[in-house]
Structure 1
Amino acid sequence: MTTIPRSTRRRVLKALGAAGTAAVAGCASAPGSTEQESAASETPTEPAMNQPQEPDVDRIAADPTDIPDPIDRSSPKTVEVEMTTTEVVAEVEPGVTYTYMTFENQIPGPMIRVRQGDTVHMTITNDESNSMPHNIDLHAVRGPGGGAEASMVSPGETAEFRFKATYPGLFIYHCAVPNLDYHISSGMFGAILVEPPEGLPEVDHEFYFGQHELYTTGEAGEEGHHDFSIDAMKAEDPTYVLMNGEKYAITPDGYGAPTVDVGDTARVFMATGGPNLQSNFHPIGSVWDEVWPQGGLGSEPNRNVQTTPVLPGSCTMATLSFDVPGGVKLVDHALSRVARKGMMAVIAAEGEAQPDIFDPEP
């Protein structure tokens, strides 16, 4: 068997991740020496791409059905949450690899689910094989940096902090070291749901998705290993715009589309990591029955919404119903991102035709 050469992850990534070229408001500074900070302040040289790399993991796309169960208790408790940050090579699409940064080897990172009033004991470990410091900023935290300052960890280190979930809603979390845009673009974001004390209305299914952009040294579909491009990110010109980290991952031609039955209802949790582009979230073949903009649960939802904006660094929670069989495509309605850059997921409804609602052959 021919061994595919694997270049080091440390190339330009180490310099970019160690500290920022300028302080970013609200972002924690990385620990390290003056020498590290000096190296990181240099403009990186983008290496030649297209040298094949063997993936470290078979899949980076999170399973949209892998969600904690709804809260079924009536009093608050302390919830233990442990996550490990990783830097791994994986395929964006067949034949194209990228060095992702993740929480728990998946994009988006694992969904956290707690109740308003709960205390969360958060433990963050930076895998010893990594080359950069990482941390976590949760928008559900009242505290410096959303926890970023308390959780800054170098490779091989672990940090802990506690916070009380004082307000309900669906909130993003993300890495917030200097050069946070690079870390988030590479996959370091997820969502935390803080349920109100009365819980959420019952639905038949729940799904979890996350949108972000990749800025790389190659064109979309160009085979080989794509390195991060700081110039493309500065220009906000992404190579890929992705749902769950890979091109068309959650579709029948990817890892498969999750299925529901005709007549079912579903709740969709969606986080837009960005770091730059707003999502224009639309279910092709349906509408959102209810939308809680920005994931806010403090007011009544909007109803019968065709397309809802999900700002970078924010979330939305929405419901939809499946009245007829067929696939409902979840897209960003900036449609070049769908047709050219990989941004789509599918939920497949199975069951009997409903010609009184939709008849394709009258």
Structure 2
Amino acid sequence: MGSLDRRRFLKRFGIAGALGGAAAVTHAVVPHTHQNGGIALAQDDGHDATKRPEMHGGHMVVGEVDHARNGFSPYEILTDFDGGEVSTDTRGRTVREYEFVAVNKEIEVAPGVFFPAWTYNGRVPGPTIRATEGDRIRIQLVNTTEHPHSIHFHGFHTSGMDGVPGQGEALAGETFTYDFIAAPFGTHLYHCHTLPLVQHIHRGLYGAFIVDPKQGRPEANEMVMVMNGFDTNFDGENEIYAINSIAFAYAVKPIEIERNALQRAHVLNITEFDPINSIHIHANFFDLYRTGTSLEPDEFTDTISMGQAERHMIEFTYPEAGHFMFHAHQTEFVDLGWLSAFEVK
């Protein structure tokens, strides 16, 4: 079977979607090998029925992603907030320093499915930068690749720190140091802004930039969820969807949380080729803080749709133990990897 065209695949197997057609998905979609840059799929009338793949929410996932080979794990990325190397400048401000190395790297985004990524520090998404409003941020970008790259931060900074061609771009083999004050507080984003922009972002040059308010927030279990997609055959359509890059990762191994404990998730949409992504949690509602720039919630809901580069902070608590799904509410995205779950203890 050749490279996967997602829409022809879904039409061919008549998938009704994971929400209303779990049985159809169970028998139809079994990603298992890498062929020509796409996903090969075992069919109901062709795969070995003696094998017992992982089954979650109607999906059967054959094999496992080698996180050690990738050099990063979605389970670590979920709670890995990087405060940098901390010092104090002559004005008494907290300084947080980082080194980002732009490097080309093949990564496995689903079992047996590999993608030629462009990365910051060998991972997709890149490191989650965390600071407090008013901190001074210094990031040295070391470009080891044959392409120019940059880091463009969503937030306040001078034009020279904008991370665009001619203003904060590191050419092949060069370095550039970004130096700015973290503001405003909120759930923010950074990404390469070198042209062609779609290629530099889609290949994996992006990450979360979390700026805490000076007065802080209530204690919570915090997570970062970067919604992304991968066009594995470069036809302008994504064949894989995920949060934190690995399809079905948090369905195969659900995120463990404690009941009655406040959960805070920073959710970012950096999906290329699709103008809208979304997140829906089961059996619960959440407080929505749009862009994370307020201390009081803007809305109480269970589903939000997000445009490209849109990001929000959500807070919720599960009062009962159990297994609870969360996923995109574009069912095609669910079928192709954006399906996750919480295991509430």
Same fold (TM over 0.5): yes
Go from structure 1 to structure 2 and tell me whether the alpha carbon gap of 1:125 and 1:141 turns closer, same or farther (over 3 Å shift).
Answer: farther
Distance 1:333 1:171 in 2: 23
- Is the Cα contact below 8 Å between 1:280 and 1:309 reproduced in 2? yes
Checking the alignment, whether the CA contact within 8 Å between 1:116 and 1:197 is kept in structure 2 is yes
| TM-score calculated relative to the size of structure 2 | 0.72
Deviations 1:176-211 (A, max 9, x none): 1101211211221111111111012221x1111111
Query: Which of 310, 328, 342 is the equivalent residue of 1:347?
Result: 342
Quick one: distance in 1 between partners of 2:129 and 2:38? Answer: 37
The residue matched to 2:163 in structure 1 has which SS? helix
Determine the structure 2 residue equivalent to 1:169: 186
Tell me which residue corresponds to 1:309.
Answer: 305
Q: Quick one: distance in 2 between partners of 1:117 and 1:305?
A: 31
Match status 1:211 vs 2:214: no
Letter in 2 for 1:275: E
**Residue correspondence of structure 1 range 161-310 to structure 2 within 5 A:** 161-203=178-220, 205-217=221-233, 229=234, 232-233=235-236, 237-251=237-251, 253=252, 256-277=253-274, 278-288=276-286, 290-293=287-290, 295-298=291-294, 300-310=296-306
Asked if 2 retains the 8 angstrom alpha-carbon contact of 1:140 and 1:192, the reply is no
Please point out which of 329, 336, 340 is paired with 2:332: 336
SS at match of 1:274: coil
Q: Give 1:36-55 correspondences, 5 Å limit.
A: 49=36
Alignment partner of 1:140 is 2:137 = no
Residues 78 and 120 in structure 1, CA contact (< 8 A), matched pair in contact too: yes
Give the superposition deviation at 1:111: 1.0
SS in 2 for 1:172: strand
The alpha-carbon deviation at position 347 of structure 1 amounts to 2.5
**Residue 105 of structure 1, CA deviation:** 2.0
Q: Cα distance, 1:121 vs. partner?
A: 1.0
Aligned partners of 2:37 and 2:115 also within 8 Å? no
Question: 1:55 offset after TM fit, Å?
Answer: 10
Q: CA deviation at 1:151?
A: 3.6
Structure 2: distance between partners of 1:114 and 1:58: 27
Match of 2:316 among 311, 314, 320: 320
Q: Label 1:56 to 1:68 Cα distance change in 2 as closer, same or farther (>3 A).
A: closer
Note the residue ranges of structure 1 that are not aligned, 5 or more in a row.
1-47, 218-228, 351-362
User: Is structure 2 residue 79 aligned with structure 1 residue 65?
Assistant: yes
Aligned-partner Cα distance in 1 for 2:93–2:268: 25
| Partner SS for 1:194 | strand
Task: Give the counterpart letter for 1:342 in structure 2.
Answer: G
- Determine the C-alpha separation between the residues in 2 that align with 1:342 and 1:276: 16
Contact 1:168/1:297 (8 A) holds in 2? yes
CA gap 1:51/1:329 in 2 versus in 1, 3 angstroms? closer
Shift of 1:269: 0.9
Aligned equivalent of 2:104: 87
Asked if structure 2 preserves the Cα contact closer than 8 Å seen for 1:57 and 1:89, the reply is no
Contact 1:107 1:210 in 2 (8 A): no
Structure 1 counterpart SS, 2:333: helix
> Cα offset for 1:257?
2.7
SS state of the match for residue 105, structure 2? strand
1:61·1:245 contact (CA, 8 Å) conserved in 2? no
- CA shift digits 1:229-276 (9 cap, x unpaired): 1xx32xxx321222111211233x2xx333122221210011111224
Write the distance in 1 (CA, Å) between the matches of 2:240 and 2:284: 25
Mark the CA change 1:87 to 1:202 in structure 2 (over 3 Å): closer, same or farther. Answer: same
Distance in 1 (CA, whole Å) between partners of 2:171 and 2:209 is: 24
TM-score normalised over the length of structure 1: 0.69
Deviation of residue 104 (structure 1)? 1.8
Tell me by how many angstroms 1:345 deviates: 2.7
Q: Is the 8 A contact 1:141 1:147 kept in 2?
A: no
**Residues 57-87 of structure 1: per-residue CA shift (max 9 Å, x gap):** 3355542021247x9x9x8412112211221
CA-based RMSD: 2.8
* Deviation (angstroms), 1:142: 2.5
Aligned to 1:298, the other structure's residue is in SS state coil
Distance 1:343 1:61, change over 3 A: farther
- Which letter maps to 1:206? E
Unaligned runs of 5+ in 2: 1-34, 40-65
Cα separation, 2, equivalents of 1:57 and 1:304: 40
